[in-house]
Chain A
Amino acid sequence: MRLKRADFVLGVGAMALAAAYLAAAASIPESLLADAVGAAGVPKLVGWAMGAAGALLCFRSIRARTPVPTQRVHWRPHLLALGLLGILTAYVIVAPLVGYPLSIALLTGVVAWYAGAAFGWRLCVISIAAGAVFWVLFGALFGVPMPRGVLFGG
């Protein structure tokens, strides 16, 4: 017999989030223009509600104690998702440096390769073509000033 661990973890996470949120709410400055509730009033209510919900979830998960079959955790999908998040974050960092056409082509190619596409000339050609299509679509057709890239004088 085990407690429902995922719910327990979620409950603890909610309480931690509530504590951090309440601490941040406590540092909201007072204003002479403030009403009776104040800028921090509702956030504090929300923070306390989150703490209470997290505590109740923890309590419920302990109380439930349902039999949970032992399951092997498969980490691979989560690691893949984490890697994809890393690629997207890298895009946000790299795009202002190398500009939109190159960064979007890189993003397309790297994500496709990371998701299982074979590395080769086909991957390169399709990525470059995708970058060109996206650049024409957003930059030329929609007229959006996409980043030109610091390295290219943007």
Chain B
Amino acid sequence: LDPLLQAVQSLLSSWAIPAAAAGVLWGIFGGALPGISPSIAMALLLPFTYALEPTTALVLLASVYVGAEYGGSIPAILIRTPGTNAAAATVLDGYEMARQGRAGEALGISLVSGLVGGLFGLVVLVLATEPLAGVALAFTPPAYFALGVLGISIIASLSSASLLKGLIAALVGLMVSMIGTDPVSGVPRFTFGEPDLLAGIKPILVMVGLFAVSEMLMQIGEPPWARADGAQTRLVLPRWPMMKRLAKPQAIGSVIGTFEGVTPGAGGTIAAFMSYSEARRWSNHPEEFGRGSVEGVAAPETANNVVTATALVPLLSLGIPGSNSAAVLLGGFLIHGLQPGPMLFEKAPAVVYGLYGGLLVANIAMLAIGLVILSPCIWLVNRPKPWLIALILALVVSGVYAIHQSLFEVGIVVAAGAIGYGLRLARVPMLPLVLGVVLGFMIESNYRRSLLLSQGDHGIFVADRISLALLLLAAALAAWSLWREWFRPVSTPASA
């Protein structure tokens, strides 16, 4: 009962409960705007979390993730434009339902399925994270180095169709992480005489630039979004007979969402499409899929909300963010001097349990807010896109300046946005780059610490069993990805 009490205490002794509601609200609005992914909605808030107490800040960010996954289904259903990548599968039957005059029913199914998925994912998160972190407590410096290498190789392999592109992104991230004063000898590296670079480049600046600014650079060249004609739409919650019918696709979405969530690099989009496909396969009415099937809405919406919680398992237990949104949440931890991973449960249990409690509140808040938020969302989606771009950029530059009152940092965010735009054009995934930035210090410091312990003998990485196992796994994964890439010359678009 101790963790439960800690969660309650942590929630009640902070502003976490209002933060959960505010985060869900912001997330639904962000998710409802096509082009604003959950990670962007989170990144926009990241600068504002500096002033908040850690539990409140992390609950706020995690709640945005929860809300955004539901918000993404609103334009998917109403205007056939998914608000988030993970809502793309919802378009298939959600929009068909809307065309048949059943938009309110589709939105209700999306909301309830999101709640079911979010709560299921939370249970998995609570049950799986601490045991996994317990195993990681046995890690030595060589093992931590190997874990960092494995994390990057997993993300580089799975977040893109091309290992080489993922690897290049990760190496750019490592390069960025090495800017600043060398932590061992104190000499400046890659600062080019610029004093503002001596403290290094903060991951938050890279994340805001890569996710938010680069998306605005993309949006400005794209046509306006379609208008949502949903003024008469009223959300309709499913009744009991419908809930019984939805139980099977929701179960399918829960299982697939769990598996894809805990797998770094997979994410909600793959989970949603796999769940849709499996729900059709196991359905008693497969002929309805693509023609307005309620199961075709329930399965992907359950899956992408399961992922909002299960994607945090590798982050909290091992310190490896498995998705863009988890990477932004990692940024939130780092802002408050907290390093996710096995020691987090020792050093800041109240924050972890508070985050669990906050996620529970966020899922309940999503149901309550979701019932009343539809009209404001439709109003927001119908705002002129030029103003949304302008206001989002004004928010970005103001928020980033507010962190350290530095226009130099605003300039770094703009530069990171330009790099992100280039990466998107070249179909290079951005997550490995972010991972390189956030894991760079861990990888380098543990590499050098290991060699200090072994007096320069690289055999320490083989002698340590955990390190050896992780490095072999990383090598096997890289070899498999290279083999796959080498014998499949045509690449597919990278997942953002």
| Interface set of A (CB-CB < 8 Å, partner B) | 4, 6-7, 9-10, 14, 17, 21, 24-25, 28-31, 33-43, 46-47, 49-50, 53-54, 56-57, 60, 63-66, 76-78, 80-81, 84-85, 88-89, 91-92, 95-96, 100, 104, 107-109, 111-117, 126, 130, 134, 137-138, 142, 144-147
Q: Which residues of A contact B452 (CB under 8 A)?
A: 35-36
Residue ID in chain A nearest B386 by CB atoms: A115
* Chain B stretch 174-199: residues in CB contact (< 8 A) with chain A: 174-175, 178, 182, 184-190
| A104 and B185 within 8 A (CB) | no
* A-B pairs, 7 with minimum CB distance: A77-B221, A115-B386, A64-B489, A31-B185, A39-B182, A112-B390, A111-B390
Q: How many residues of B contact A (CB 8 A)?
A: 66
| B490 and A85 within 8 A (CB) | no
Q: Does B278 contact A (CB under 8 A)?
A: no
User: Besides A91-B397, A95-B401, 16 other CB < 8 A contacts?
Assistant: A10-B168, A28-B188, A36-B455, A37-B448, A39-B187, A46-B178, A53-B167, A54-B168, A88-B397, A95-B410, A96-B407, A107-B394, A115-B385, A115-B386, A130-B391, A147-B407
Q: Does B389 contact A (CB under 8 A)?
A: yes
From DSSP, what is the main secondary structure of chain A's interface residues?
Answer: helix
Q: Does B130 contact A (CB under 8 A)?
A: no
Q: Which residues of B contact A43 (CB under 8 A)?
A: 175, 178, 189-190
Q: Knowing A63-B489, A115-B389, A126-B387, say if A85 contacts B171 (CB, 8 Å).
A: no
Question: Would you give 19 A-B contacts (Cβ < 8 Å), ordered by A?
Answer: A7-B165, A33-B185, A37-B447, A37-B451, A38-B185, A50-B171, A57-B164, A60-B486, A65-B489, A77-B221, A78-B221, A84-B220, A91-B397, A92-B411, A104-B394, A111-B390, A114-B220, A115-B389, A126-B387
Q: Which residues of B contact A49 (CB under 8 A)?
A: 167, 171
| Interface set of B (CB-CB < 8 Å, partner A) | 51, 162, 164-165, 167-168, 171-172, 174-175, 178, 182, 184-190, 213, 216-218, 220-222, 224, 384-387, 389-391, 393-395, 397-398, 401-402, 405, 407, 410-411, 414, 417-418, 421, 425-428, 443-444, 447-448, 451-452, 455-456, 485-486, 489-491
| B168 and A29 within 8 A (CB) | no
From DSSP, what is the main secondary structure of chain B's interface residues?
Answer: helix
Residue ID in chain A nearest B190 by CB atoms: A24
* CA–CA, A24 and B178, complex, Å: 12
* CA–CA, A104 and B391, complex, Å: 10
B418 to chain A, nearest CB (A): 6
Q: Which residues of A contact B51 (CB under 8 A)?
A: 142
Q: Knowing A108-B391, A130-B394, say if A42 contacts B168 (CB, 8 Å).
A: no
